[in-house]
Amino acid sequence: MSTAAKGLEGIVAAETVLSFIDGERGILEYAGIAINDLAKDSNFEEVSFLMLNGRLPNKPEFDAFLADLRGAYTISDHTIGLLRSIPATAQPMHMLRTMVSALALEDPNPNSIDIPEVRAKAIRILAKVPTIVAGFDRLRRGLDLIAPDQNLTFAANFLYMLNGEKPTATMERAFDACMILHADHGLNASTFTARVITSTLSDIYSAITGAVGALRGPLHGGANEGVMVMLNEIENVSEAEQFVMNKLAAKDRIMGFGHRVYKSYDPRATYLKTLAEQLANDTGNADLYAKSHAIEKTMDREVASKGIYPNVDFYSATTYHSIGLKLDLFTPMFALSRIAGWAGHALEQLDGNRLIRPKADYVGPHEKPYVAIEQR
């Protein structure tokens, strides 16, 4: 019998040039570049090019990429009609999973596995998903759709379509940084899902649809919603420390702390923490950041020695709330960003593909007799 760890922990299932993680030292790199350098000095469009090509673009390449991406912001009347048919009570991640799949219906050659064609399809999906998410949210609020503005960045355009006004520079920068920080993270559950689907030589729409389904789970992308729920349970800053102590005493989980990979401070949380504070102060949510900071201080004192630190979900919750996002849109924001990483991994999988087909240990009985239904 095999002794493989549950959850495939520690098993190497693919090679990638897209992201490197050292959980012990708290390092995350995209194609060799430190995540904090990208979050401070780059932008999501440039990082998306990196995910889809394994390197940063030169100026002409970047200009061409921007033209392709922004030129695909608009969704068709058919897609708008589908959006209007979705019940306002639908959960956004279920809506998103359905709509990503539906985009294949408008593609005259959806099943192509030619790498340049798949890359072009991925750019179109990346461009249209923000329009879909913003459109769904406005429709369920009884508001008119807002057409995308091709003069705006990925981050600014989404917030404009969602809120009906252009974001402040701080909002745009904070949201752009969130998109960068969530773009890729090794062979996580949703990325592995995308690669497994791609390995069957299925299409990019199927791969990303499957990845959205994996991301929806509360043990993966749904965790940042749990952070906001927790923060809402704490009425004021003075109660934060006792809240944490009560949770620890009951051996309950503190949402936004600890990570399957990181045994030190999540490098994605470092820069986001600074942006979250600035944004919270600018938007009248200083108390929310103060509660977050008080929780972190208490957790640092109590459990940091055990390798439990804030992860990216902890401060992204404050950031998304300050931007004005409803709680059930938090996980779709993760998807907006991670599409770039999923597509990059799908392209890697296609290049030298081999069907992913692991084994399972059978642990049931043998040689059981068949019993006729009348005798059961």
Q: CA of 105: how far to CAs of 76, 96, 168, 197, 343, in Å?
A: 11, 15, 36, 18, 19
β-partners of residue 193 are none
Buried b / exposed e across 310-338, counting CB within 10 Å, b at 16+? bbbbbbbbbbbbbbebeeebbbbbbbbbb
Contact, 276 vs 319, CB < 8 A? Answer: yes
Supply 66's token pair: 């921007």
Residue 70 vs residues 41, 151, 168, 294: alpha-carbon distances, Å:
21, 8, 20, 41
Verify whether residue 259 is a known catalytic residue: yes
Per-residue b or e along 10-20, where b marks 16 or more CB atoms closer than 10 Å to that residue's CB: eeeebebebbb
Catalytic annotation, pick one of 137, 176, 203, 313: 313
Distance (Å, whole) CA 50 – CA 227? 30
Q: CA nearest 83: which of 104, 100, 69?
A: 100
Q: Which token pair is 328?
A: 């059930």
In the chain the first and final C-alpha atoms are separated, in Å, by 32
Which of 185, 259, 293, 321 is an active site residue? Answer: 259
Q: Got the DSSP string for 205-244?
A: HHHHHHHHHHHTSTTTTTHHHHHHHHHHH--SGGGHHHHH
Q: Is 321 a catalytic residue?
A: no
Backbone φ and ψ for 184, nearest 5 degrees, come out as -160, 155
Catalytically annotated residue among 220, 287, 300, 328: 220
Which positions are annotated as active-site residues?
A: 220, 259, 313
